[in-house]
Amino acid sequence: GNDGKIYWIAAALSSFGFTVNHDVLKRWNLPVPQRWEEIASEMFAMDPPQVGIADPTRSTSNTRIYQIILQAFGWDEGWKILTLIAANSKIYDASDAVREAVIAGDIAVGNTIDFYGYTAMKLNPSCEYIIPKGQSIINGDPIALLVNSQNKEAAQAFIYWVLTEGQKIWLDEEINRLPVNPSIFDTPEGQKRSDLKKAYESALKTQGIKFDDNEALATVNSMQLYFKATLVDANQELHRAWVSLVKAYKEGKISEDKYKELKAKLLEPVRFKDPDTGETVTLTKEYAKKINDRLAKDSSFRDTLMQEWRDAAREKYQSVLAEVQG
């Protein structure tokens, strides 16, 4: 651009949220969640879990969702929300498996990128894709010409086609993407997709957060691996401790003060030993940035830290469970 910044041209729009199955919500007498903290609440502390999320080391869309939550709520509060969402969840190996579970009615709510949600709505009318108000982002998915392209004219013609007539591709029932060029809804193909037009208009009205891509990149390895170790690998212990805690409180077996104390303990940052200094530390945003690149390059360092995180998380969850069981 004229201001010296690099700008990308979007070919499609996307957002991030969750897809609900209204039939399953009714079956379990659950409310329709509208925000991230609602799927992190006591209402969803149940067996079998009715929330589905994906392992961030196996899903880029779920990685982005967790990054959005960390930026929407702030690092410390964001990890508490993520811990509670994971405590309420069945964890899947891939984001499409989460979508399929919502469509099939195996779970009531699942984290999804928007077009997975629109696909779910197409395949099962009891499904609805929800963008958490003021807690998501609307992304433009870019298209660009390679600097060293051997066929620049053909490539430019293709880009032009994608941004004009080719926008129809997104309307295919196997794809279900939001176009960037709304005039495509005036074509015969576009007029058949009033559902996507409605979704497009809704997305444009969405209140998003100001998302910092550089910050997300600066902590992505730390975030993914810490999440994997403490919330995926230790999920069984986390889920059991949380569901037992909520049940004990609801049944009057522990006081409100004790409940709050144990919930706070469950949500405390995991304390672990820094492999270099031997000091006991927590994963602050600064520490996450400091170790981010090394985690990608140094497998021994990564394995040591992940084991530290895993063990410390399990110990914490088991300690809370032991207190609940008295």
Across the chain, where does the E strand assignment appear? 9-21, 51-54, 89-92, 109-113, 127-130, 138-143, 178-179, 272-273, 280-281
- Looking at the structure, do residues 78 and 32 belong to the same domain, yes or no? yes
Mean pLDDT, range 97-120, rounded to an integer: 98
| Domain carrying residue 89 | 1-211
**pLDDT at 326 exceeding the cut of 90:** no
CA distance 48 to 115: 27
Task: Give the residue carrying structure tokens 């390059």.
Answer: 297
Q: Given this model, what pLDDT does residue 236 score?
A: 98
Number of domains in the chain: 2
As a whole number, mean pLDDT of residues 144-158 equals: 94
More reliable by pLDDT, 133 or 66: 66
106 and 225 belong to one structural domain: no
Give per-residue pLDDT as tens, 245-260.
Answer: 999 999 999 999 999 9
1-25 mean pLDDT: 92
Name the pLDDT band for 7 (thresholds 50, 70, 90). Answer: confident
Phi and psi, residue 160, nearest 5° = -60, -45
Question: Residue 159: which CATH number?
Answer: 3.40.190.10
The larger pLDDT score, comparing residue 158 to residue 326, is at 158
- Mean confidence (pLDDT) of the chain: 97
pLDDT, residue 5, reads 83
State the average pLDDT over residues 4-23. 93
Predicted local distance difference test score (pLDDT) of residue 2: 84
101 and 233 assigned to the same domain: no
Other beta carbons less than 10 A from residue 315's beta carbon: 13
Q: Looking at the predicted structure, is the pLDDT value of residue 1 above 80?
A: no
Over residues 155-172, mean pLDDT = 97
256 and 207, same structural domain? Answer: no
